[in-house]
Amino acid sequence: MADEMARIDEITRIRVRFSKGDPVRFISHLDLTRAMERAVRRAKLPIAFSRGFHPMPKIAYASALPVGTTSEAEYADFEFNRPVEAEEVLRRLNSVLPEGIRILEASRVPADAGALMAMVDLAEYRVEVVGWPDLSRDRVEEAIGRLLDRREIPVERRGKKGARVIDLRPLIKEISWQGEDHGRQQITMRLGMGNAGNARPEEILESSGLPSAGSGVHRIGLFVTRGETFLSPMELKGR
């Protein structure tokens, strides 16, 4: 027990919020993690490694971002084997990260803080809907209303274990029209994620009858719900 506590005391965990912009919107989550690992090495940061035959850098992400989606609210925890300041991590990583990936803020959290992936349960998206020449606010709000009136919204997903059907309706927390910009109707979606499942904005558009092809999706927030309160991972300092 004493040895375990000593190891925890030696660990510095830094939580970061970072963006994924247009230049890298079509890279996979695996490519993103590789880019981040290369940046850590190039920045000469004292990253900790897992044990075993294939030690891996201890970097844990809150959620994998779908290919083609941009974001200003991606989160990751970095574990370092010696003390390092959050601002130093931000500065050194930004000096070597590729175009399109940028650390926006960094903060130290307790070494025994809970895993991000296990805590985050809500995602917020800004979606620009295009594809119909006569697409208007009224048509968008009518489609949203019909969707929210449904008791079930089954969608089929195919994976390595075959096809399965999930119900999107419990995962839709909020959808609202936000405005129009050069013919693009803008809506926001707050969608559940985590153990209960994940809802994808493109699936919401398709289920509502709105065009999904060509529409742009941007993640603007990840949150942890505490009753009626929504906290960003940067606001959490413990479990």
Over the stretch 6-45, which tens digit does the pLDDT of each residue have?
A: 454 578 999 999 999 999 999 999 999 999 999 999 999 9
Helix, strand, coil percentages (3-state) for the chain, rounded to 5, are: 30, 35, 35
- The arithmetic mean of pLDDT across residues 68-95, rounded, is 97
Residues of the chain within CATH 3.30.70.3190 domain(s) are: 120-235
Cα 74 from Cα 25, distance rounded (Å): 13
Residues 169 and 151: beta-carbon distance below 8 Å: yes
Q: What is the pLDDT of residues 71-81, one digit of tens each?
A: 999 999 999 99
Partner residues linked to 29 by β-bridges: none
Q: What is the pLDDT of residues 186-230, one digit of tens each?
A: 999 999 998 778 899 999 999 999 988 778 999 999 999 988 889
What pLDDT is stored for residue 120 in this prediction?
94
Question: What CATH number belongs to 2-111?
Answer: 3.30.70.580
Cα 192 from Cα 222, distance rounded (Å): 10
Nearest to 69 by CA among 204, 191, 205, 200: 200
| Axis crossing angle, helix 201-208 with helix 137-149, rounded to the nearest 10 | 100
Q: Please name the CATH architecture into which domain 120-235 falls.
A: 2-Layer Sandwich (3.30)
Stronger pLDDT, 123 or 135, i.e. the higher one: 123
Q: Work out the mean pLDDT of the chain and round it to a whole number.
A: 90
Residues of the chain within CATH 3.30.70.580 domain(s) are: 2-111
